[in-house]
Amino acid sequence: MADCNAFKMAQTQLDEAAEILGLDEAVHEFLRWPQKEYSARIPLRMDDGSTKVFQAFRVEHSLARGPAKGGLRWHPNETIDTVRALASWMTWKCAAVDIPLGGGKGGIVCDPKQLTESEKERLARGYIRAFADIFGVTKDVPAPDVYTTPQIMAWMMDEFETINREHAPGVITGKPIPLGGSQGRGDSTARGGIFVAREAGKAFGVELKGKTLAIQGFGNVGRYCGILAEEILGMKIIAVADEHGGIINKNGISMQALAEHTDRTGSVIKMEGTEPIENSDLLELEVTMLAPCALENVITKDNADNIKAEMVLELANGPTSPEADEILFAKGIPVIPDFLANAGGVTVSYFEQVQNSYNFYWTIEEVQARLEEKMVTAFDAIFKIADERKIKMRTAAYLGSVMRVAEACKLRGWVS
């Protein structure tokens, strides 16, 4: 991944939309920065009896449309600027699919692969103790993200309930189903993206059935992207990469077989019947659709000219730099922007909050039908703006989202 400040990227994207909208200077400046930021140092007793101290963050970008909502990432390269960027993208994501939440994000600078399960539990509980006063159903609701899991969410929810001495399942989403999690949450980010890809294929005249897909990143989102692209779109996945390397088979790779191989070995590499491929080469394959599903800034000005996909589906957050965006737009390659493409996760997290509040739970069919309706409605509105103004889908998505958030700020009297 090229060196890039994700938050500056997010601000640049907002600046472009603000200029097109003629956004008031005060509103623009207000939305360029998070409303609130918190940091803490968490001491963790390790299993060997030693103590290590971990840096932790929570950022609330906007509370104008509702409580902050956003995931918690555990990553050794986490930074405050990455968390700021992700929190701002969450603001636009919630507004894009028109759910009454604001943007938040959290992070712990750690390598979870070096932690035991008991150490992970103590770190999860330590995070909640550090920020317990800012979390709440009506204040700020965390969720899983990179290297965090439903089990980690369960420990966090339990710690919050222990501190507050009340049952509060809605304070955390992405929980295990027996603790109030929602049906359909596990594949919701990818499923929402596949619904959007289907609509984008129709809108841009890109045939997807029987065509090829390359997936960069094979965590939860990348795995389900492949499975659902086969199942819903009828696509053929010819290349997949993770942090260890990539594989390619131009005749197609069975996603079920690859999932079993990855569960057994810990990586996609060395799967029988495939050849190795570098991550950088995978991005430049001649495929119908490219789906970046890993981390930020993998498509940059240095490789954008070499992208040959007919369409890019951003299931990762911030995988395309602003300079690369311009290059792809000039080449006529539609980019389905992250805060539309991967909004399925926060949408079903919102559904989880609703179900927790009612203490009444929906079937998986109800969840998936409601998700499809939200994603299709959002795509149609954004595509209409892009088509009418002849602008990038990302810019169109920003225009709609920024207008919604700016209106809320003005109605509250925060800015005039």
105 is an active site residue: yes
Q: What is the dihedral of CA 177, 183, 189, 195, to 10 degrees?
A: 170
Of 165, 167, 185, 187, nearest to 175 (Cα)? 185
Catalytic residue, from 69, 93, 105, 236: name it.
105
Cite the active site residues: 105
